[in-house]
Amino acid sequence: MDRRESLKVLLLGALGARSLSPDELAAAESGSPAHGTAGLASFRSRWAAWPNMSWAGPEYWGNRLQDWRVRTGRLVSRTRGPNRTLHCLTHRAEGANFTTRVHFELDAAAMKGDPAARVGLRFGLQGRFPGVRSAAVHGTGIDAAIDAAGYLWLGENRSATAIDVSGPVELRLRSRAEPGGARVELTGGTLGPTGESLGIDPPAASHIETLFDATAVLGNLALLSHHPSASGASGPGSVPASTPAPAATFLDWTIDGPDVQATPAAAFGPIWFAQYTLHRGILKLTAQLAPIDGIEGLRVGLELRRGGGGWTQVATAPVDGLARTAEFRIEGWDAARPADYRVVANVPLTTGPETFEYRG
């Protein structure tokens, strides 16, 4: 395992060890809801509510993390490279009956020089071990995407007709259980100037369907930006290169269906983890955050609670623009008095401030 893969595993390990209780973690890994953790089996992206930042949001895990950012209420795949995926951490397919839909814009002119380039969805992502974390790091799945000419691809199968990709497009993937497996239908169409669908329902501008083994469609669901000719990789163990230019812009993403497992507690961030030291009455605590340092005026708070009382803020700190950390120093710390702590960030969304916390 190289350094890049080690960092991925450590970060997602922090997700499991801290963000989820043992019952919640078991639910996320097994697909069974733990008490108090199961949410509505439907998901919708909220990029329109978030400020500009070099991060996709707490519901996602990006491969690579630095290839995804929010700009003016949209998600941008900021580089052209192979196998760029953005996994949904909170909702995944635990059965064959589900639907996922995405609205996006692609740069068809740039993609025409790369006949294998695809933008859209990847489903059935499964890793070396069961659960969302292994699939997010090592998962392989099935592509449901559009190429530069507007043809739909479902795995290795291409649609007979193409759609107009000069403007925003919509992809809908619908999976249904059948006696012989899972029938997956992929339909594509264009969007109107205000985002309304202009032909996603049959007879759609383009349509393709395939019967898969029922187990092949289970697992994580992800957005896909795949531009293989941008890779400068060569040889075993090499790191794929990328071209620093926007590859696609995603407007909206939904997931729903009776076999969608919702685990809201699996959201990860924007406070990823924290560590502290205590020496001669001085407490030093560092919180590691997602790349939200670009949010104007954002400060992070440290709060304490003793003896079952309420939370009291004892310090605030800015987010370091290079390390993406918040550092706290508390003098005169009484080590004889145990205390719970939490690190709190109030993020200004367009829907109103939203509070995120990490407890220790």
Residue 329 pairs in a beta bridge with 284
Sign of CA dihedral 198, 199, 200, 205: negative
pLDDT score recorded for residue 110: 78
pLDDT digits (tens, 9 = 90+) for 92-150: 999 999 999 999 999 888 787 788 999 999 999 999 998 999 999 989 999 999 999 99
pLDDT score recorded for residue 117: 93
pLDDT score recorded for residue 196: 59
pLDDT score recorded for residue 93: 97
Where is pLDDT greater, at 200 or 25?
Answer: 200
| Domains, in order of start, for the chain | 3-266 (2.60.120.200), 271-359 (2.60.40.10)
% the chain with pLDDT above 90: 71
Instruction: Tell whether the model's pLDDT for residue 38 goes beyond 60.
Output: no
What's the mean per-residue pLDDT of the chain? 85
Task: Give whole-number Cα distances, 30 to 25, 96, 131, 194, in Å.
Answer: 8, 16, 6, 40
Residues in the chain: 360
Average pLDDT estimate for 297-320: 94
Instruction: Tell whether the model's pLDDT for residue 20 goes beyond 60.
Output: no
pLDDT score recorded for residue 314: 96
Buried b (16+ CB within 10 A) or exposed e, 19-52: bbeeebbebbbebebbeebbeebebebbbebbbe
pLDDT score recorded for residue 242: 63
pLDDT score recorded for residue 7: 43
Where is pLDDT greater, at 279 or 19?
Answer: 279
Separation between Cα atoms, residue 172 and residue 100, nearest integer Å: 6
DSSP state of 320: P
DSSP state of 350: T
Q: Which of the residue ranges 63-67, 74-78, 240-244, 294-298 would you say has the lowest mean pLDDT? A: 240-244
pLDDT digits (tens, 9 = 90+) for 237-271: 333 556 667 789 999 999 999 999 999 999 999 99
Average pLDDT estimate for 280-300: 95
**Cβ 239 vs Cβ 137: under 8 Å:** no
pLDDT score recorded for residue 115: 87
Token duo for residue 63: 């491969």
DSSP string, 64-113: SGGGEEEETTEEEE-SB-TTEEEEESSEEESSS-EEEEEEEEE-HHHHTT
**Considering only CA atoms, which of 9, 262, 264, 252 is closest in space to residue 121?**
252
Separation between Cα atoms, residue 68 and residue 64, nearest integer Å: 8
pLDDT digits (tens, 9 = 90+) for 202-216: 444 689 999 999 999
The residue with tokens 């953005």 is 86
Q: Alpha-carbon Rg of the chain, whole angstroms?
A: 22
Instruction: Tell whether the model's pLDDT for residue 178 goes beyond 80.
Output: yes
Instruction: Tell whether the model's pLDDT for residue 217 goes beyond 50.
Output: yes
Identify the band that residue 307 occupies on the pLDDT scale cut at 50, 70 and 90. Answer: confident
Token duo for residue 55: 């991060």
Where is pLDDT greater, at 136 or 192?
Answer: 136
pLDDT score recorded for residue 114: 85
Average pLDDT estimate for 290-317: 94
Separation between Cα atoms, residue 92 and residue 220, nearest integer Å: 5
